[in-house]
A and B are shown apart, each in its own frame.
Chain A
């Protein structure tokens, strides 16, 4: 286990050998498999919306399903 050591996962990709040092063989194998696997293919125009969001604010809605029957415009924003 890593104990109080700073999380190696937060380092850049070039730290991979260092990360391996911290991991058990099974964990290391899983990490290698993950690294060679591409991300899931993204949804696009024509696909059904399949996302979940949390903590809806400024609305009585609690989940995205509550907007069923409405057209929805999702805008990703960042405060910076």
Chain B
């Protein structure tokens, strides 16, 4: 992890070690192992359970849009996987931007990309890097909506698209996102898959009683069979695996 941290910290990746142990147990361990990246505490391991992880060590990679893109044992994470998912990520975390970028950071964390870009432009030469970083985020988020449509994940297009359109506000890239959302509305086949994806989500309750698992799995299998080779089938299969993995 130290190696990954050193290799990718200036290219958009933040490594965060997380533990459910106490500070007294953790800090000597961190020092002994010369851990050079940030770490935090997950009391009761509630986050670990939410992420469906069990066993130590376990890892999850999240892209710049906040989407979980990989999970597994840290030793199976390759540089290629990281490189694939750091595209468009901020080269420097917003909390490390110069003090003068306070307004940019505030707008950025509120997901107001237009305002953030405008504030960065006002910084002049000092804001050049921050401006470029935000421009990179704008491009990658716009491209992400377009890519999701190409991949046929129409539920993600609808949800990510609307959020991105709002974040872009009056920026020129907004027209590209609006165009994808319009295309989705007018595409009858996409609408059928979108409805099936919503049905998958509705079929799986946040918590599921043991006695209802078979019923839920049967309903999900039905959706997968009706919409083969689509995002709805993928969602249904993933939900089935998730339901089955619960003891």
> Beta-carbon contacts of A24-64 to B below 8 Å, as 1s and 0s?
00000000000011111111111111111111111111001
Which residues, 44 to 73 on B, are CB-close (under 8 Å) to A? 45-53, 56-64, 66-71
Contact of B14 among A40, A50, A55, A72 (CB under 8 A): A72
Q: Kindly provide the distance from the CB of A79 to the nearest chain B CB, expressed in whole angstroms.
A: 4
Interface residue tally for chain B (C-beta within 8 Å): 86
Chain B residue with minimal CB distance to A54?
B41
Chain B residue with minimal CB distance to A76?
B58
Interface of B is mostly: mixed
B93 touches A66 (CB 8 A): yes
Q: How large is the interface on A (under 10, 10 to 19, 20 to 34, 35 or more residues)?
A: 35 or more
A61 touches B204 (CB 8 A): no
| Stretch among B18-26, B119-127, B172-180, B187-195 lining the A interface | B18-26
Q: Kindly provide the distance from the CB of A39 to the nearest chain B CB, expressed in whole angstroms.
A: 6
Contact residues in B for A60 (Cβ distance below 8 Å): 95-96
> Beta-carbon contacts of B2-20 to A below 8 Å, as 1s and 0s?
0010001000111111111
Contact residues in B for A55 (Cβ distance below 8 Å): 23, 40-41
B16 touches A74 (CB 8 A): yes
Contact residues in A for B90 (Cβ distance below 8 Å): 69-70
Does any Cβ of B come within 8 Å of A75's Cβ?
yes
Which residues, 187 to 213 on B, are CB-close (under 8 Å) to A? 204-211, 213
Contact residues in B for A76 (Cβ distance below 8 Å): 17-20, 42, 45, 48, 53, 56-59
Q: Kindly provide the distance from the CB of A33 to the nearest chain B CB, expressed in whole angstroms.
A: 9
> Beta-carbon contacts of B208-244 to A below 8 Å, as 1s and 0s?
1111010000000000000000000001001100110
Instruction: Return 8 A-B CB contacts under 8 Å, by A number.
Output: A41-B243, A44-B52, A45-B70, A46-B238, A49-B62, A55-B23, A59-B38, A69-B93
Chain B residues close to A by CB (< 8 Å): 1, 4, 8, 12-21, 23, 25-26, 28-30, 35-43, 45-53, 56-64, 66-71, 74, 77, 82, 85-86, 89-90, 93-96, 108-109, 111, 133, 137, 153, 156, 204-211, 213, 235, 238-239, 242-243, 245-246
